[in-house]
A and B are shown apart, each in its own frame.
Chain A
Amino acid sequence: AQSVTQLGSHVSVSEGALVLLRCNYSSSVPPYLFWYVQYPNQGLQLLLKYTSAATLVKGINGFEAEFKKSETSFHLTKPSAHMSDAAEYFCAVRSGGYNKLIFGAGTRLAVHP
C-alpha cells in the first residue's frame, strides 16, 4: 500500500523567508507524487508533480520540489514566501491501477509580515 506523511500540520514563516513543507512517502513501486494547494473555501489546485523525468520539479507560483528516493521524500520549497502563499498544502501519491490519489493530512502555511 502507498501512503504519504506530511510532517508539521502548521508552518509559520515571515514574508520573504524560505518555505519548506515536508512530505515523505511509502511505496513499493516507483511513485507518482503531487503537491496541491488549497485556498480557503476553494478546491485543490495542482502546484507540481513528479513523474520520474527529473528529480527537481518546478511548479507554479515559484514553488519547487525535489524527489529523493534514498530519503523517500518529496519536500516542497519556495525561496521567498509571499503573503499570498498562505494556504493549505497537500502532498499526494498515486495508488494502484485505479489512479486513486492518496493524500497526506495537509500542512497549513501561515505567512506573517
Chain B
Amino acid sequence: EADIYQTPRYLVIGTGKKITLECSQTMGHDKMYWYQQDPGMELHLIHYSYGVNSTEKGDLSSESTVSRIRTEHFPLTLESARPSHTSQYLCASSDQSGADTEAFFGQGTRLTVV
C-alpha cells in the first residue's frame, strides 16, 4: 500500500494569500513529482525532484515553487494565490530502481481560489 500523504485535501482561499501544499512519503523514494489536474483533464507535470536539494520545472509552466530539504517531504508553495490557480494538485513519488517503476500518488489537494 502506498504511503504518500497530501494535506490539506481541500482548500478554499482568497486571492493574494500565500499557501503551501504539503506532500510527504514514507517509502524512502528519491523521486517526487507534482502534477496539476483540471477537472476532467489530463495531468500535467509542474515540478519534480531527484532527491534532496534537487528540484526541476516540469512540462507545464507554473507560478508555484517547490523545495526538497528532506527526502520524505516535497511541499509546493504559491506566494500569491489567484483564481487561475484553482485546480487539483497531485503529488507522487517513485524509487530509483528503473524506468519500469510506477509512481505512487497521494489523494490530491483540491485548491479553490476565490
Chain A residues within CB distance 8 Å of chain B:
9, 32, 34, 36, 41-46, 49, 51-52, 88, 90, 94, 98-106, 108
Contacts and interface: CB of A to CB of B under 8 A. Distances in A.
Interface of B: 6, 9, 31, 33, 35, 40-43, 45, 48, 50, 56, 58-59, 90, 92, 94, 99-108, 110
Nearest to A36: B105
Which 3 A-B residue pairings sit nearest by Cβ, starting from the closest? A43-B105, A51-B100, A44-B105
A98 B57 CA distance: 12
Contacts, number: 62
Q: Which of A43, A49, A98, A104 has the most CB of B within 10 A?
A: A43
A76 B101 CA distance: 19
B20 to A, nearest CB: 19
Contacts of A9: 40
A32 B99 contact: yes
A104 B44 CA distance: 10
A43 B42 contact: no
B42 A103 contact: yes
Given A100-B33, A101-B45, A108-B40, 7 more contacts: A9-B40, A34-B102, A43-B105, A45-B105, A99-B103, A100-B58, A106-B40
A8 to B, nearest CB: 13
